[in-house]
């Protein structure tokens, strides 16, 4: 066999579905060729190699698949630190919004930003994710809310993947909020999303998926269905911000469109969970938003488990409801607030996050043929990745074999 690079004396959490639990192999080795995993298994079975590849002795360190943050809004203009201060002083989200703040202020700042400025603004957030072992990051639009601004956000997101050794998956989120010029005319805005924004971003190949926000303060299931019909016609998979603040049946709607994921889902009911399970729709848990908005309604984890819904965990990094750039802290919050097990948390940032992006064939587990994306950790037990708060034990990160 010919390998480019070989990591030996490691403890592997392969997260492979055939194995039980974390799919532990210890002591194990993993080999890369042409950026892909060419071999993975116990040290004792390591095959003889034709040439001498670069050998890296990990001295017992743990390897997991590179982490996948499957739900972020890291591309945007401005920040909302001032709004945070106002909220601490007693202002409500609604008061801030009525005074022209809130999501509208991020839309204004994003519209005013050039593509370069959007890239430069997002890089520190992306770097924070990378420093914790992220090798794939999803990035949404949704603060432009007109065709040119949405396309600019997605071009900036694509450029992030060229600026850094990381894979970027983009989601077009035109149906995120109602822009001021369409005040009182949500149907008219949805028409703009499907007839102007979506055609522009699909023609330019800027979107890997289409997302929407189904909520009382955002768009109705009927309006979301209109967006999903257009996405399906354009051949793009869909996902949905669903059941975050109330239960509108968004997850069930998403499942009817075979959505990759339904995200937030605090107010999900059993019917919604069953529909997601039947459709193979991943439930993406976003404990950062739950924490930052001081929510009390928790996602129905027992119902999700009982129905057999695959659960992912993501940062939801955005300036308004989850200014979080730590997948490790997201896991800790998922465990502490939602009582996910360590195994569920780790699956949530690897295999199930890959599914939520429709990329399970490529990433998410340590299996032969997949992209050689690895996170190498200075830990004794995988639980340490979930248990610590504000501590980063990443030893090294490998993306596409390097």
The residue ranges that bind ligand DI6 (CB under 6 A) are 103, 106, 176, 213, 241, 244, 289, 318-321
What letter would DSSP give residue 272?
H
| Residue 213 interaction partner, one of ligand DI6, Fe ion, none, beta carbon < 5-8 Å per kind | ligand DI6
Binding at 106: pick from Fe ion, ligand DI6, none (beta carbon under 5-8 Å per type): ligand DI6
Measured CA distances, 270 to 65, 102, 275, 303, 304 (Å): 31, 32, 9, 6, 8
Q: Are 363 and 70 in contact (CB under 8 A)?
A: no
Q: How far is the CB of 351 from ligand DI6 (least distance, A)?
A: 25
Considering the complex, state which of residue 17 and residue 124 has its C-beta at the smaller distance from ligand DI6.
124
Shortest Å distance, C-beta 241 to Fe ion: 5
Query: Which residue lies nearer to Fe ion by CB, 266 or 316?
Result: 316
Using CB positions, name the residue nearest to Fe ion.
316
- Is residue 215 a contact point for Fe ion (CB under 5 A)? no
Give the contact letters, 269-308, x = binds to Fe ion (CB under 5 A), - = no.
----------------------------------------
How far is 73 from 275, CA to CA, in rounded Å? 27
Choose the one of Fe ion, ligand DI6, none that binds residue 326, judging by a C-beta under 5 to 8 angstroms depending on kind.
none
Number of residues that bind Fe ion (CB under 5 A): 1
Nearer to ligand DI6, 102 or 382 (CB): 102
Of 72 and 223, which has the nearer Cβ to Fe ion? 72
Total number of residues shown for the chain? 402
377 binds, among Fe ion, ligand DI6, none (CB under 5 to 8 A by kind): none
Least distance (Å) between residue 105 CB and ligand DI6? 9
User: Minimum distance from CB of 322 to ligand DI6 (Å)?
Assistant: 7
Q: In angstroms, give the least distance from the CB of 176 to ligand DI6.
A: 6
Least distance (Å) between residue 181 CB and Fe ion: 23
Name which of Fe ion, ligand DI6, none residue 244 binds, using a CB cut-off of 5 to 8 Å depending on partner kind. Answer: ligand DI6
Closest to Fe ion by CB, 316 vs 367, is 316
Binding mask 316-355 for Fe ion (x = CB under 5 A): x---------------------------------------
Stretch that binds Fe ion, among 183-191, 232-240, 275-283, 311-319 (CB under 5 A): 311-319
- Which stretch of DSSP H or E encloses residue 312? strand 311-313
The pair of structure tokens assigned to 226 is: 């209109």
* Residue at shortest CB range from ligand DI6: 320
Closer residue to ligand DI6 (CB): 10 or 218: 218
Distance of CA 124 to CAs 19, 118, 131, 313, 314, Å?
Answer: 36, 11, 10, 21, 18
Please say whether the beta carbons of 301 and 265 come within 8 A: no
Between 11 and 71, CB nearer to Fe ion? 71
In terms of Cα–Cα distance, which of 360, 263, 342 is closest to 309?
263
Provide, rounded to whole angstroms, the least separation between the CB of residue 143 and ligand DI6. Answer: 7
Segment 20-26 long-range contacts (CB within 8 Å, at least 24 positions apart): 21/343, 22/343, 22/346, 22/382, 23/365, 23/366
Is 213 or 338 the residue whose CB approaches ligand DI6 more closely?
213
Least Cβ distance, residue 254 to ligand DI6 (angstroms): 14
Measured from the CB atom, the residue of 316 and 373 that comes closer to Fe ion is: 316
Cα(138)–Cα(167) distance, rounded to whole angstroms?
8
Q: How far is the CB of 266 from Fe ion (least distance, A)?
A: 13
CA distances to 5, 30, 32, 37, 364 from 2, in Å: 9, 13, 9, 12, 24
78: left (phi over 0), alpha (psi -120 to 50) or beta: left
Closest CB to ligand DI6 among 263 and 344?
A: 263
Helix (H, G, I), strand (E, B) or coil at 88: helix
Question: What are the φ/ψ torsions at residue 176 (nearest 5 degrees)?
Answer: -100, -45
Terminal Cα-to-Cα distance of the chain (whole angstroms): 19
DSSP-derived secondary structure for 120-172 = HHHHHHHHHHHHTTEEEEEEE--SS-SHHHHHHHHHHHHHHHHHSSSEEEEEE
Task: For the CB of residue 238, give the shortest distance to ligand DI6 in the complex, in Å.
Answer: 15
Which residues, in sequence order, are CB contacts of 75 under 8 Å at separation 6+?
A: 118, 119, 121, 122, 139, 140, 141, 143, 153, 156, 157, 160
Q: Which of 18, 28, 42 is nearest to 374 (CA)?
A: 28
Which spans of this chain sit near Fe ion (rule: CB under 5 A)? 316
């Amino acid at each position: 066999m010919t390998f480019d690079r070989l990591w030996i004396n490691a403890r592997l959490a392969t997260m492979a579905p055939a194995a039980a639990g974390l799919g532990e192999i210890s002591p194990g080795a993993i080999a890369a060729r042409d950026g892909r995993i060419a071999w993975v298994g116990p040290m004792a079975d390591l095959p003889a190699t034709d040439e001498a590849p670069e050998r890296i002795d990990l001295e017992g360190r743990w390897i997991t698949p590179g982490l996948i943050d499957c739900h972020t809004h890291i591309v945007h203009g401005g920040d909302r630190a001032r709004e945070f201060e106002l909220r601490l002083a007693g202002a409500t989200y609604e008061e801030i919004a009525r005074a022209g703040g809130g999501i509208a202020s991020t839309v204004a700042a994003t519209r005013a930003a050039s593509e370069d400025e959007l890239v430069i603004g997002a890089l520190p957030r992306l770097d924070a994710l990378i420093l914790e072992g992220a090798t794939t990051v999803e990035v949404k639009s949704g603060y432009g809310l007109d065709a040119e601004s949405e396309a600019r956000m997605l071009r900036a997101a694509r450029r992030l993947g060229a600026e850094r050794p990381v894979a970027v998956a983009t989601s077009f989120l035109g149906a995120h909020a109602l822009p001021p010029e369409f005040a009182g005319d949500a149907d008219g805005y949805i028409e703009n999303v499907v007839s102007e924004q979506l055609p522009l971003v699909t023609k330019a190949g800027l979107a890997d998926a289409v997302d929407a926000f189904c909520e009382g303060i955002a768009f109705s299931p009927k309006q979301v269905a209109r967006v999903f019909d257009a996405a399906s016609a354009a051949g793009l998979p869909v996902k949905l911000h669903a059941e975050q603040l109330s239960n509108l049946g968004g997850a069930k709607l998403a499942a009817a469109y075979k959505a990759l994921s339904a995200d937030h889902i605090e107010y999900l009911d059993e019917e919604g969970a069953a529909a997601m399970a039947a459709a193979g729709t991943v439930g993406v848990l976003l404990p950062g938003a739950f924490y930052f908005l001081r929510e009390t309604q928790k996602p129905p984890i027992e119902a999700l488990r009982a129905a057999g819904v695959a659960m992912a965990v993501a940062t939801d990094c955005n300036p308004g409801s989850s200014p979080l750039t730590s997948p490790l802290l997201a896991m800790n919050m998922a465990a502490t607030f939602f009582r996910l097990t360590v195994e569920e948390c780790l699956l949530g940032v690897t295999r199930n996050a890959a599914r939520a992006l429709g990329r399970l064939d490529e990433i998410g587990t340590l299996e032969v043929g997949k992209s050689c994306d690895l996170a190498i950790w200075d830990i004794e037990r995988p639980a340490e990745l979930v248990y610590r708060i504000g501590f980063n034990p990443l030893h090294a990160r490998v993306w596409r074999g390097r």
